[in-house]
Amino acid sequence: MSELVNISEVFGKNVFNESVMRERLPKNVFKKLKQTIENGKELDPSIADVVAHAMKDWAIERGATHYTHWFQPLTGITAEKHDSFISAPGQDGKVIMEFSGKELIKGEADASSFPSGGLRATFEARGYTAWDCTSPAFLREDAIGVTLCIPTAFCSYKGEALDEKTPLLRSMQAIDKQAVRILRLFGNTTSSRVTPSVGAEQEYFLVDREKYLKRKDLIYTGRTLFGAMPPKGQELDDHYYGAIRERIGSFMNEVNRELWKLGVTAKTQHNEAAPAQHELAPIYAQANLAVDHNQMIMETLKKVAGRHGMTCLLHEKPFAGVNGSGKHNNWSLTTDDGINLLNPGDTPHENVQFLLVLACILKAVDVHADLLRESASDVGNDSRLGGNEAPPAIISVFLGDQLEDVINQLCDTGEATHSKQGGTLKTGVAMLPDLDQDVTDRNRTSPFAFTNNKFEFRMVGSSDSVAPSNVVLNTIVAEAFQEAADELEKAEDFQIAVHDMIKRLFMEHRRIIFNGNGYSKAWVEEAARRGLPNITCMVDAIPALVTEKAVKLFENFQVYTRAELESRAEVEYDSYSKIIHIEALTMTNIAGKQIIPAIIRYTTRLADSIGKVSSVCPEADISVQKDLLLEASARLAEIKTSHSKLVVLQEELKGIKDAKERALACRHRLVPAMEELRRPVDSLERIVDKDLWPMPSYGDLLFEV
Ligand code: ADP
Ligand code: MG
């Protein structure tokens, strides 16, 4: 039995949160800081020293020796550089611990080796990290000791964003401003801010550490590059929501405790569809905090897995043919006085404000489907999206029966007069209570689904940051709100104008609504008829970042400049090629050094057997050995051919200088060549002796955790 925990005692223990600040900061300083945090006011630099001092004392009392500006460069993960609190020794030889306001607010990272996509040449190495006081500082406890982590944004010498957080904060300002305009139109004078709320559900795999270490592909690329399907996969669905085993249970217990200490509201945990796959979801929080928390969740999962003799795989598709992992980004808009703009109420047909918000979101998603799709692309997700387990690569919106019916009434008759209501679910068992039935069933195949009072964007990859998706969501909806507010603020009769606008927007953007089965072939054809984009891979998604439409959108809201967008596209092409090259190199290494030698041992064993059997017993039937030898030799020849082809191809592609061209060549030439090498290897894995096969199988990895 593991240690008992009292959640309320541990929760937020390692966070420099509001109650700690109230206790430790002078009243006027606390007030000023709170204003910055809550109202987005600029931080008063004169209070920084006082805050830094209090933060340092608090951290040191809890054993901290170092502090770090914790930031999120364009690698999808976090980065940090640690400094100890030690400054020069004092007169008496005792060490002085210092941490000034300047060190809190601004850090300088020689960040020339972070991706910048040409925004900064290597000789212009200066990059700055700036404190994001809306996300509280926290203490991380691990083998290094205790470190004070200060969430920061990361910019170049000239102020261009080099990270995920800066544009996210900019996009939050944009949607705040435009959403408040919409509220004012409906006579709301009391709400002063609107913030996107985000809850990111995280899927992951756990594998045994020792087995993991025997797989070079997992070590270098985070996914298996070879591997035949085990006799049993997920077809019985006996893992999904299954009872959690002891080893996993004790891992989850520790993950929760670590996260609670960091103020992350880890809430639900369950086994997922694939064997060895699990999910963790926190309670939703304001978008930038939720993005930070998701990074902490990923870090904690990895760290704690190691302590339990396991490795956590965050890759989108660690095992071909087995369900992959994603991240559901739940998103809604909340006012500072607690109103959720996406709450339809019991009778949505009468809720005009909700219908306008909904119509604007539909328009945003329809007009900028390409950007949303781009925000969810990473290399791993290419093996998942559209693969009958994850959302299709086509963006559509699921609204459910009730809302679709309201929209149909509006579009068909110009008037919505009623809302479908949920019934009562009869269990048919006298002892069980009858349950209220939700008005709408769930749809698991939609990439963008309305669920109760939020939208769930289900396309994001499990290893990716959720920041880019929220940047896009916030900005595209801000644009739709802006266009609506511009028109409605000028209207002579608001009621008539808003009614007409809602109807018009639904009519114009209805094509994006789809309540059916997103996994079906019929939908792919239907979507093409509707003119919806079907972008099947990352390299085809990236151009969406730099269309004139995107530049206009992001420049209008000062979320990205054209140069920042171009640099991001460049970074993505480049990282795509790098990742594919690493995978290809890992494959040729494994094939050359482990698989080919193993097959040679196998064929030698067969040949020895044929020789020995026929000399001892010339009349014995040795056709099985011969068949196997023929088959193995034929596959071996195929492996050698594909292996050589892959080696040559890699060299050839290295010569391509243009980032986009190289990425396209990787996608269209290297990826198919990798698949060609994999095929004969996987088919041999099914026949070669287990003791000769040089690495653990899918079955070993998935069923023996
Ligand atoms: P569901 O099962 O319908 O997906 P859950 O209650 O499991 O809903 O929530 C999934 C995630 O969505 C959780 O992280 C949850 O906190 C988050 N969530 C719930 N309501 C909202 C909301 N209004 N805005 C954003 N996220 C939300
Ligand atoms: Mg969900």
492 and 393: one domain? yes
Q: Which ligand 1 atom sits nearest the alpha carbon of residue 268?
A: 7
Inform me whether the pLDDT recorded for 683 exceeds 70.
Answer: yes
Whole-structure pTM value: 0.94
Residue 504 counted as domain residue: yes
- What's the chain's average pLDDT? 91
Instruction: Please tell me the number of the ligand nearest to residue 282's CA.
Output: 1
* CATH number (domain holding residue 274): 3.30.590.10
* CATH number (domain holding residue 653): 1.20.120.1560
DSSP assignment of 220-246, as one string?
HHSS-SS-PPPS--STT--STTPPPPH
pLDDT value of position 8: 86
* CATH number (domain holding residue 115): 3.10.20.70
62 and 119: one domain? yes
Residue 50 counted as domain residue: yes
496 and 600: one domain? no
The string of pLDDT tens digits covering residues 544-588 is: 999 999 999 999 999 999 999 999 999 999 999 999 999 999 999
Give the residue, by CA position, lying nearest to ligand 1 atom 1: 451
**Nearest residue to 488 via CA among 358, 362, 366, 356:** 356
Q: Which ligand 1 atom sits nearest the alpha carbon of residue 343?
A: 23
Dihedral pair phi/psi, residue 688, rounded to 5°:
-70, 145
Inform me whether the pLDDT recorded for 2 exceeds 90.
Answer: no
Inform me whether the pLDDT recorded for 505 exceeds 90.
Answer: yes
Domain end position, chosen among 163, 187, 218: 163
pLDDT value of position 236: 60
Determine the distance separating the centroid of ligand 1 and the alpha carbon of 96, expressed in angstroms.
47
Domain end position, chosen among 163, 193, 210: 163
**Per-residue tokens: 219:** 């070590």
Q: CB of 406 within 8 A of CB of 349?
A: yes
Say what percent of the chain tops pLDDT 70: 93
43 and 177: one domain? no
Beta-carbon contacts of 67 under 8 Å, excluding residues fewer than 6 positions away, are 56, 59, 82, 83, 85, 99, 103, 147, 148, 149, 150
**Nearest residue to 422 via CA among 446, 392, 402, 403:** 402
Domain, as residue range, for 33 = 7-163
Residue 553 counted as domain residue: no
DSSP state of 439: S
118 and 176: one domain? no
Number of structural domains, the chain? 4
80 and 222: one domain? no
pLDDT value of position 434: 64
364 backbone φψ class: left, alpha, beta (φ>0; ψ -120 to 50) = alpha
Q: Which ligand 1 atom sits nearest the alpha carbon of residue 282?
A: 14
CA-to-CA separations, 384 to 618, 636, 670, 671, in angstroms, rounded: 53, 30, 18, 15
pLDDT value of position 150: 93
Residue 376 counted as domain residue: yes
pLDDT value of position 203: 96
Inform me whether the pLDDT recorded for 160 exceeds 90.
Answer: no
Residue 331, strand partner residues: 198, 455
Q: Which ligand 1 atom sits nearest the alpha carbon of residue 453?
A: 23
Residue 537 counted as domain residue: no
Residue 565 counted as domain residue: no
pLDDT value of position 239: 64
Instruction: Please tell me the number of the ligand nearest to residue 281's CA.
Output: 1
Residue 272 counted as domain residue: yes
DSSP-based three-state secondary structure for 425: strand
pLDDT value of position 123: 52
User: C-alpha angle with apex 386: 383 to 391, nearest 5 degrees?
Assistant: 110
The string of pLDDT tens digits covering residues 129-144 is: 888 988 999 999 988 8
Inform me whether the pLDDT recorded for 93 exceeds 90.
Answer: no
- Residues 101-119, mean pLDDT to the nearest whole number: 77
Q: How confident is the model at residue 35 (pLDDT cuts 50, 70, 90)?
A: confident
Q: Is the dihedral of CA 350, 356, 357, 361 positive or negative?
A: positive
Inform me whether the pLDDT recorded for 320 exceeds 90.
Answer: yes
Q: CB of 44 within 8 A of CB of 58?
A: no
Helix, strand, coil % in the chain, rounded to nearest 5? 50, 15, 35
**What is the distance between the alpha carbons of residues 249 and 235, in angstroms, rounded to a whole number?**
24
pLDDT value of position 143: 87
Give the residue, by CA position, lying nearest to ligand 1 atom 19: 284
pLDDT value of position 439: 62
29 and 14: one domain? yes
673 and 688: one domain? yes
- Residues 190-208, mean pLDDT to the nearest whole number: 96
- Residues 261-289, mean pLDDT to the nearest whole number: 91
Q: Which ligand 1 atom sits nearest the alpha carbon of residue 281?
A: 14
Determine the distance separating the centroid of ligand 1 and the alpha carbon of 481, expressed in angstroms.
24
Q: Which ligand 1 atom sits nearest the alpha carbon of residue 330?
A: 26
Q: CB of 267 within 8 A of CB of 290?
A: no
Give the residue, by CA position, lying nearest to ligand 1 atom 17: 199
Inform me whether the pLDDT recorded for 329 exceeds 90.
Answer: yes
181 and 153: one domain? no
The string of pLDDT tens digits covering residues 358-412 is: 999 999 999 999 999 999 999 999 999 877 677 788 999 999 888 999 999 999 8
Domain end position, chosen among 163, 187, 211: 163
Residue 558 counted as domain residue: no
Best residue among 272, 284, 452 to mutate for probing ligand 1's pocket (most ligand atoms within 8 Å of CB) is 284
258 and 362: one domain? no
**What is the distance between the alpha carbons of residues 186 and 494, in angstroms, rounded to a whole number?**
9
Give the residue, by CA position, lying nearest to ligand 1 atom 8: 451
**Nearest residue to 488 via CA among 477, 501, 476:** 501
Which amino acid is located at 165 in the chain?
A: K
Determine the distance separating the centroid of ligand 1 and the alpha carbon of 269, expressed in angstroms.
13
pLDDT value of position 235: 62
Instruction: Please tell me the number of the ligand nearest to residue 331's CA.
Output: 1
| Ligand 1 binding site (Cβ under 6 Å of any ligand atom) | 197-199, 201, 268, 281-284, 330-332, 340, 451, 453-454, 456
For residues 390 and 308, the model is more confident at 308
497 and 374: one domain? yes
Instruction: Please tell me the number of the ligand nearest to residue 454's CA.
Output: 1
Q: Are strands 106-110 and 126-131 parallel, antiparallel or unpaired?
A: antiparallel
pLDDT value of position 84: 87
Give the residue, by CA position, lying nearest to ligand 1 atom 24: 332
Helix axes 467-489, 165-185, angle to 10 degrees: 30
501 and 640: one domain? no
Give the residue, by CA position, lying nearest to ligand 1 atom 6: 283
- Residues 90-94, mean pLDDT to the nearest whole number: 73
Q: Are strands 126-131 and 145-156 parallel, antiparallel or unpaired?
A: antiparallel
Inform me whether the pLDDT recorded for 529 exceeds 70.
Answer: yes
Inform me whether the pLDDT recorded for 165 exceeds 90.
Answer: yes
Inform me whether the pLDDT recorded for 427 exceeds 80.
Answer: no
- Ion ligand 2: residues, CB within 5 A, are 328
The string of pLDDT tens digits covering residues 598-654 is: 999 999 999 999 999 999 999 999 999 999 999 999 999 999 999 999 999 999 999
